[in-house]
Amino acid sequence: MTIVTDAKNGKITEEMKVVAANEGKDPEFIRRGIAAGRIVIPMTPYRDIKLCGIGEGLRTKVNASIGSSSDIVDDEAEVAKAKAAEAAGADTLMELGTGGDFLGIRKKVCDAISLSVGSVPLYQAFITAAKRDGAIVHMTEDDLWNATEEQAKLGTNFMAIHTGINNIVLDRLKAHGRYGGLCSRGGAFMSTWMLHNEKENPLYEDFDYLCEILKEHEVTLSTGNGMRAGAIHDATDRAQIQELIINSECAQKAHDNYDLQVIVEGPGHVPLDEVEMNVKLMKSMSNGKPFYMLGPLVSDIGAGRDHVVTAIGAATSAAAGCDFLCYVTPAEHLALPNIDDVIEGVKTSKIAAHVGDMVKNKESRDLDLAMGRARRDLDWEKMYGLCLDPELARSIRDSRAPGDDDACTMCGDFCALKIVNKSYNLAK
């Protein structure tokens, strides 16, 4: 029995009620969305979490990704980053470590926060094989299944699993080529394994077995985007679309036959004029499944400020109907993110999500209306309270304290709002 089974049977669960209250929706709306596969609530029987609804008609959610690397392994730093992401307003967290003790670090992260935690079991399977046998191509199918089950038992709520990479997809990739190569670690691992061993992807070939594991542990399936382009000139190419077709078919099968909750992942580097098209194409192909956009970055020259580049693409994605955004930090393409990078990435993507929600749901503009009135009235405390980052806003103003408490040092004595407020009343 899963929450999808309950939803299909007409039962409104406590989880549905909590999400409905958080979103200002009727519980029946949430139930119908889950039954139809358009809404998910990542869950786990292994730990208590802060429930988060993702999907059609709900606020756009933001995921923060952390994780050790082969160069930097620091358990406590990863835990600190996880806590910082939650405090900064992340809705979910993905722990994507590729260095050190996979399960040990992830357990510490899961124990330290209340957010839903996602993972990519494939990383553990391939790196374990490389350490054991000398190369990733020696991974066995059992390595994949064991990693998936082990991570599920830690309380991992959702997993990015590369179900859509099959031999047809690889034929498309090889025939078409890429300017910027392949930037998905999962895609790189699995495609290399398939080519070397001349085998089909086990996650695709044995998809039914995968679904049985996920159902047993109530894990939400996020169909991984293994053909994710690393350059905007490769966006929306044949390999990406072929993988989308396979992932959409797998998503439907998982929901219809196994009552699994499913998210469909999208591309990462996409030029601005193709963002809306990608969102609508993926929504159409997947029958409205919750759509998870990785970024997207709309330019390839913003290294050091890629969180800003992503905010442009993320706001456009959310406005077009994307449900779930993966943040990007200033360290993208350059280094393993530190705590400051994580905080900056979360807050920047939260702004982008809100901007998108202002298009999808006009009620989301109420906060901006309240801010407009507070600014008109020069009510600084109210303004701080309405900010995404009140501490930052207050610290900036205090660092350049005005002579007139009513104004700021940009306009000083010639503040337009102060002048108008003295002359006539524009209150509305």
Q: Do residues 326 and 353 touch, judged by C-beta distance below 8 A?
A: no
Can you say whether residue 10 is alpha, beta or left, with left for phi > 0 and alpha for psi between -120 and 50 degrees? left
Q: How far is CA 186 from CA 3, 256, 353, in A?
A: 28, 26, 26
Question: In Å, how far are 146, 162, 165, 216, 405 from 188, measured between CA atoms?
Answer: 20, 11, 10, 29, 57
Specify the pLDDT at position 427: 84
pLDDT > 90: percent of the chain: 90
Q: Give yes or no for residue 173 having a pLDDT over 90.
A: yes
pTM comes to 0.96
pLDDT per residue as tens digits for the range 27-54: 999 999 999 999 999 999 999 999 999 9
Higher pLDDT, 182 or 81: 81
pLDDT level of residue 392 (50, 70, 90 thresholds): very high
Number of helices and strands (H, E) in the chain? 19, 10
pLDDT digits (tens, 9 = 90+) for 217-259: 999 999 999 999 989 999 999 999 999 999 999 999 999 999 9
Helix axis angle, 167-176 to 185-197, nearest 10° = 100
Instruction: Give per-residue burial for 398-409: e unless 16+ CB within 10 Å, then b.
Output: eeeebeeeebbe
Q: Is the pLDDT of residue 419 over 90?
A: no
Q: Strand ranges (DSSP E) for 224-323?
A: 262-265, 291-294
pLDDT above 90 for 1: no
Q: Regarding the domain delimited by 58-360, which CATH topology (the fold level of the hierarchy) does it fall under?
A: TIM Barrel (3.20.20)
Confidence of residue 421 (pLDDT cuts 50, 70, 90): confident
Contact 261, 42 (CB under 8 A): yes
Percentage above 70 pLDDT, the chain: 100
Q: Taking 90 as the threshold, does the pLDDT of residue 325 lie above it?
A: yes
Please report the pLDDT score of residue 110 as a whole number.
Answer: 96
Task: Give pLDDT tens digits for 105-155.
Answer: 999 999 999 999 999 999 999 999 999 999 999 999 999 999 999 999 999
Bond preceding residue 45 cis, omega within 30 of 0? no
What pLDDT score was predicted for residue 99? Answer: 93
Distance CA 305, CA 60 (A): 22
* Region 383-390 average pLDDT: 94
pLDDT at residue 402 above 90? no
The pLDDT mean for the chain works out to: 95
Q: Which pLDDT score is estimated for 279?
A: 97
Position 329 pLDDT exceeds 90: yes
User: How would DSSP label each residue in 329-351?
Assistant: -TTTTTS---HHHHHHHHHHHHH
| Residue 289 pLDDT class (50, 70, 90 cuts) | very high
Domain ranges of the chain: 58-360, 379-423
Q: Which residues contact 269 (CB under 8 A, 6 or more apart)?
A: 180, 183, 228, 229, 230, 231, 232, 234, 235, 295, 296, 297, 300
Three-state SS at 1: coil
pLDDT higher than threshold 90 for residue 293: yes
Strand locations in 203-342 (E): 220-223, 262-265, 291-294, 324-326
Query: How far apart, in Å, do the first and last CA atoms of the chain sit?
Result: 53
Q: So what's the pLDDT on residue 204?
A: 98
What is the rounded distance in angstroms from the CA atom of residue 178 to the CA atom of residue 192?
16
pLDDT at 184: 93
Nearest in space to 93 (alpha carbons), one of 111, 115, 60, 67: 115
